[in-house]
Amino acid sequence: MAGAAVIEIDHLHKTYGRTVAVDDVSLRVEEGEIFGILGPNGAGKTTTVEAMVGLTPVDAGRIRVLGLDPHRETARVRELVGIQLQQVRLPTRLRVSEALELYASFYAGPADTDDLMDLLGLTEQRRTAFAELSGGQQQRLSIALALVGNPRIAVLDELTTGLDPQARRNTWELIEQIRRRGVTIVLVTHYMDEAEHLCDHLAVINHGRVQATGRPRELVSGDSATTYVIDLSDTAAQADAPHVAAALGTHVRTGPGRLEVTGGPRELTAALTALVDAGVVPARIRTRSLDDVFVDLTRDL
């Protein structure tokens, strides 16, 4: 059953001069979920989340956040929504605890800053100046700052960009912990593995439009049948693949450097046999991933 919508965006449209940053975006975020907004550079993700929290005016569309209009009731929305936008910039000498206390002073009912430092693993750095923090620590501080107002919704934009693999994993765990505290999370990301791992629902945006929405698993399989991907290594194999696919039927189609087979082991075996008969040796066989879906949805044909 669908939960209550805490964010509703209908037909958002926003231009910067002649650039259409967001053409037509509609989405719905449910209470307590982690909602991912995915898309290539320049797709309109940041503009969408900035509009969502009233940071940027819009040309058309309707936005409701916890029932409020973020452009008319901006102060109330800022109280209820914590925002971590790309790249936090703070005065270089400001210490971790000072930054948190400063931000806490903006809110009527802030979170306990010691608790937050503990949650974010920053207690040891409490007296460290912002400029002396590592990239991962700066990132964690920016998440702490987004949470200091005890928000009901946290908007996190590219939160793991530039982090090493271990720091990314730690940040994922942290996001899940925050969600367990009842905070709804909107996550803007470029990373498919991040979206697959963390998000309950996703919207894939390209050229300012929503190309697909759904649960990661729904986006990958579309229906209940498995889709196998046969990766083809060399260009000769890739050139032959469309002929093989055409002969097999509609459950087989070609993608960039690959053949996709929807069905069960029987269909997969038939496709492999046909490929080998045509002299094509597959490089790898796997099931379809969110990465494949993303490439399909955002490929400019």
Ligand X SMILES: Nc1ncnc2c1ncn2[C@@H]1O[C@H](COP(=O)(O)OP(=O)(O)OP(=O)(O)O)[C@@H](O)[C@H]1O
Nearer to ligand X, 24 or 98 (CB): 24
- Both tokens of residue 177? 């912990």
Enumerate binding residues for ligand X (CB under 6 A): 16, 19, 21, 39, 41-47
Nearer to ligand X, 45 or 288 (CB): 45
φ, ψ of residue 247 in degrees (nearest 5): -75, -20
Find the shortest distance in angstroms from Cβ 204 to ligand X.
11
Find the shortest distance in angstroms from Cβ 112 to ligand X.
33
CA distance linking residue 298 with residue 53, whole number of Å: 26
Nearer to ligand X, 21 or 116 (CB): 21
Find the shortest distance in angstroms from Cβ 199 to ligand X.
16
- 229, β-bridge pairs: 260, 286
Find the shortest distance in angstroms from Cβ 54 to ligand X.
15
Find the angle CA(6)-CA(9)-CA(10) to the nearest 5 degrees. Answer: 140
Find the shortest distance in angstroms from Cβ 218 to ligand X.
23
CB-neighbour burial class of residue 16 (10 A; exposed 0-12, middle 13-18, buried 19+)? exposed
CB-neighbour burial class of residue 224 (10 A; exposed 0-12, middle 13-18, buried 19+)? exposed
Nearer to ligand X, 36 or 149 (CB): 36
Nearer to ligand X, 248 or 293 (CB): 293
Find the shortest distance in angstroms from Cβ 100 to ligand X.
26
Nearer to ligand X, 213 or 238 (CB): 213
